[in-house]
Amino acid sequence: MEALMRILTELRPDVDFEGNKELVDGGELDSFDIVSLVGELCEEYDIEIGADDIVPENFNSVEAIWNLVQKLQED
């Protein structure tokens, strides 16, 4: 979780991630951010995130991203 926060703040220092539940729907993260983020996550957690995982629900909040990472790690 800490590593995730670090990645996120490095990626977009201007966004307040805590408590934000509309990161994608609210337009904070655009598709470029998502791709960069996915690249970092894959490396950090040794997982594979495919295009089919890229839905707003998986990226709308820090918790959602964290859940996605955990789900993929379990698989």
Partner 1 sequence: MAFTSFRFVIFLAFAVAAYFLTPKRCRWVTLFVANYVFYLISGGKFFVYLLATTVTTYVATVRLGNMAAKNKEAFTKAKETLDKEGKKAWKADFTRKKRRVLIPALLFNFGILAVLKYSAFVTGNLNLLFAKLGIGTELPLFRFLLPLGISFYTFQSMGYLIDVYREKVEPERNFAKLALFISFFPQIVQGPIGRFNALAEQLYRPNEFSYERMKFGIQLMLWGAFKKMVIADRVAVMVDTIFGFPETFGGCYVAVAALGYCIQIYGDFSGGIDIAAGAAQIFGITLEKNFERPYLATSIPDFWRRWHITLGAWFRDYVFYPLSLSKFFMKLGKKGRKFLGNYVGKLLPVLIPQFIVFFLIGIWHGAEWKYIAFGVYNGSLIVLGILFEQPLQNLAKKLSIRMDCFSWRLFQVLRTLVLVALGKIITRAPGVGASAYMMRSMVENWDTDIFFQGGLLTLGLDHKDLWIFFLSCCVLLTVSLMQEKGIAVREALAKQNLYFRWVIYICAVFSLILFGMYGLQYDASDFIYRGF
Taking the C-alpha atoms of residue 20 and residue 61, their distance in angstroms, rounded to an integer, is 6
Among 22, 39, 63, 67, contact with partner 1 (rule: CB under 8 A): 39
C-alpha–C-alpha distance, residues 38 and 33, integer Å: 8
* C-alpha 39 chain-centroid distance: 10
Among 34, 47, 62, 65, binds partner 1 (CB under 8 A): 34
Q: How many residues bind partner 1 (CB under 8 A)?
A: 17
Closest separation in Å from C-beta 43 to partner 1: 8
Measure the CA–CA gap between 6 and 50, rounded to whole angstroms.
22
Q: Between 15 and 42, whose beta carbon lies closer to partner 1?
A: 42
65 is a contact residue toward partner 1 (CB under 8 A): no
